[in-house]
Structure 1
Amino acid sequence: MAKNILEVEDLKIYYPLASETFFGKGGVVKAVDGVTFDIRENEVFGIVGESGCGKSTLGRGLCRLDPITEGRVVLDGQDISKFDRKQMRPIRKTIQMIFQDPYASLNPRMSIFDIIAEPIRIHNLAKNDKELEERVVNLLRRVGLDAYHANRYPHEFSGGQRQRIGIARALAVEPKLIIADEPVSALDVSIQAQVLNLLNELKKDLNLTYIFIAHDLSVVEHISDRIGVMYLGNFVEAGDKNKIYKNPLHPYTKALLSAVPIADPTVKRKRIILEGSIPSATNPPSGCKFHTRCPKRMPICETVAPQRYEPSPDHYVYCHLYDDKLEAQAAES
């Protein structure tokens, strides 16, 4: 069993609203509201969920790009949850991020050479200019670009090429963990496959660990080893990829998987249509946050938040349906 490179315990990231707004009194947006999970070395942990569920905020919080309200983030044995910017600087060599939008994540005023060289310079990873140039060229070649691309600017590249540059920049400091925030969602399908294959090759060659954030369940299934399904700031199910895809337990996971297109027209699958829309993160429902849309809700769901249950090894679910005590009480009555 590989050791954990990241351990997250009851992580909360809240954003305060103005004291008075057009919609009424201010409050907080509970973007991430008590997430707990761990990631093992050299694995890909996928995070999926609808838009607005807190996936990207979780990724930015783990990198400490967004402030953490409560909870612990232990990276490679070191609790970084309360580190300031100065303390985080050396930690950046361990954890890096690939951003969602390849058009917005690169500085248009900097050449590709300077974009990739900047983190190497900041962390003093090159002894001289010659070594710096060699490292940049090697990184470009590793992600499928050529040395002459170093003198160009971001606007001269396609979306797929820009994302390769973003990957090269993330690799520049030789990190152990990379958080990929929907890295292929803005790309064409054929380019998506190329980037995913590149990420897989880099993982094997460099012994990398990924957190792969996406809303496309097919993409996550292709690249991930373990998966966390997120809804309104919380995980509702997590564990081994094969167990979740073959035997989903939570009603929300079942609904998501029922919406995945199947290429074979002869295969029929019943769609699960959820009622209503996602509640507001400023005023989430009490108890289980999913109970307002759940087809299997019970009275307890409206008032009591479910605990984490483990029906089988490495398969966790947050749902009262798997509470043995409730089953026993129902049998007695």
Structure 2
Amino acid sequence: MKDVLLKVDDLKVYYPVSGASIGKKDYVKAVDGVSFEVRKGEVFGIVGESGCGKSTLGRAICKLEQPTAGKIFLDGEEITGYNNKKMRSVRKKVQMVFQDPYASLNPRMSVFSIVAEPLKVHKLYKDQADLEKKVIDLLHRVGLDTYHANRYPHEFSGGQRQRIGIARALAVEPQLIIADEPVSALDVSIQAQVLNLLNELKKDLNLTYIFVAHDLSVVEYISDRVGVMYLGNFVEVGDKDKIYSNPMHPYTQALLSAVPIPDPEAPRERILLSGSIPSAHKPPAGCKFHTRCPKCMECCKSIPPERYEVDEGHYVYCHLYDDRNKTV
């Protein structure tokens, strides 16, 4: 498809486990065979419980984590095997906004130096005057004043620090921004301001986002399409409206049943899952969700589910939608 900016094909990120038996390799399967596409100009939200692999997936796309297997295509260019030198040119196309706006900023650098650094690395300025103008313009674009340039990260609030991180990501004029839980560490009122800023930047600069979060309300607000992750795999992918109005996978249904609603008297059915997420070190056979699924069938315990299209653009990885199980 011409409008596909990012294509991920069967991506895996495994971490070796120390202390494994001699002659035997053991791994934590943080991302275990994920495939999806992101179209130009859209916001693709990734949700799931903590530990499901969503942040690792985002970092692997940026090549901050080295994929174990699979392929990554960015704007038609396969970048999977690129080393750090080759990735430098790709960095101008894809940037990342991190979860902790304090830990992601160098406390010894002024805001000017932080935002100017990517411009210097990629030589995207003519002279010092041009560099200063570009940095100030970036600060203004994210809602900060000129005098903020000479201050240091510890002098800012969490929301302001995240704005600095966004300005740094915008410096190289990327096509794709991967936002890894960019508002989870912020107060609710500040979350709204940052989300509105991201929406404005998307429209003004024609950006594409991968938005990683565990807050389904935030993802519903900002996303066009949503992928629901569980233990290293997607269990459901589709347009936001379809997933939120008609969730098909039992895990998605359970997640959405836990989202707070403003009317305390509104009727709702809370779906409680038994047990906890299994270890990514030794995940269950078959469907990884079967140990907690209220609709588990015998085939779920041994056969990994395939991808089933339940509606146009709406996919679910669940045996409940396999025609061979319709009579069950």
Q: TM-score range by the shorter chain?
A: over 0.9
Aligned to 1:48: 47
Which runs of 5 or more residues in structure 1 are unaligned? none
> For 1:141 and 1:209, how far apart are their aligned partners in 2?
21
Aligned to 1:254: 253
Q: Is the counterpart of residue 101 in structure 1 residue 100 in structure 2?
A: yes
Instruction: Render the CA deviation track for 1:237-284: whole Å, top value 9, x for unaligned.
Output: 001000000000000000000000011122120100001000000000
Aligned to 1:4: 4
1:17: how far off? 1.3
Aligned to 1:215: 214
Q: Is the counterpart of residue 16 in structure 1 residue 21 in structure 2?
A: no
Q: Is the 8 A contact 1:95 1:177 kept in 2?
A: yes
> For 2:246 and 2:287, how far apart are their aligned partners in 1?
21
Which runs of 5 or more residues in structure 2 are unaligned? none
- SS in structure 2 opposite 1:236? strand
Paired letter, 1:311: V
Aligned to 1:241: 240
Instruction: Render the CA deviation track for 1:176-212: whole Å, top value 9, x for unaligned.
Output: 0000000000000000000000000000000000000
Aligned to 1:57: 56
Aligned to 1:229: 228
RMSD, aligned CA: 1.2
- SS in structure 2 opposite 1:178? strand
Q: Is the counterpart of residue 316 in structure 1 residue 315 in structure 2?
A: yes
Q: Runs (4+) of structure 1 moved beyond 3 Å? A: none
Instruction: Render the CA deviation track for 1:77-132: whole Å, top value 9, x for unaligned.
Output: 10001111011000000000000001100000001000000000000100111100
Instruction: Render the CA deviation track for 1:114-172: whole Å, top value 9, x for unaligned.
Output: 00000000001001111000000000000000111111110110000000000000000
Residue correspondence of structure 1 range 182-197 to structure 2 within 5 A: 182-197=181-196
> For 1:309 and 1:26, how far apart are their aligned partners in 2?
33
- SS in structure 1 opposite 2:320? helix
Instruction: Render the CA deviation track for 1:40-60: whole Å, top value 9, x for unaligned.
Output: 000000000000000100000
Q: Is the counterpart of residue 203 in structure 1 residue 202 in structure 2?
A: yes
> For 1:17 and 1:151, how far apart are their aligned partners in 2?
45
1:325: how far off? 2.4
Q: Is the 8 A contact 1:15 1:29 kept in 2?
A: yes
Aligned to 2:266: 267
Residue correspondence of structure 1 range 279-318 to structure 2 within 5 A: 279-318=278-317
- SS in structure 2 opposite 1:292? coil
1:26: how far off? 6.8
> For 1:20 and 1:229, how far apart are their aligned partners in 2?
31
TM-score, length basis structure 1 = 0.96
- SS in structure 1 opposite 2:253? helix
- SS in structure 2 opposite 1:93? coil
* Bigger mean CA offset, 36-45 vs 263-272: 263-272
* Bigger mean CA offset, 260-269 vs 100-109: 260-269
Residue correspondence of structure 1 range 146-185 to structure 2 within 5 A: 146-185=145-184
Q: Is the 8 A contact 1:18 1:26 kept in 2?
A: no
Percent identity, please: 70
Q: Is the 8 A contact 1:308 1:316 kept in 2?
A: yes
> For 1:269 and 1:75, how far apart are their aligned partners in 2?
42
> For 1:141 and 1:133, how far apart are their aligned partners in 2?
12
TM-score, length basis structure 2 = 0.98
Aligned to 1:72: 71
> For 1:286 and 1:81, how far apart are their aligned partners in 2?
28
Q: Is the 8 A contact 1:279 1:285 kept in 2?
A: yes
Q: Is the 8 A contact 1:2 1:41 kept in 2?
A: no
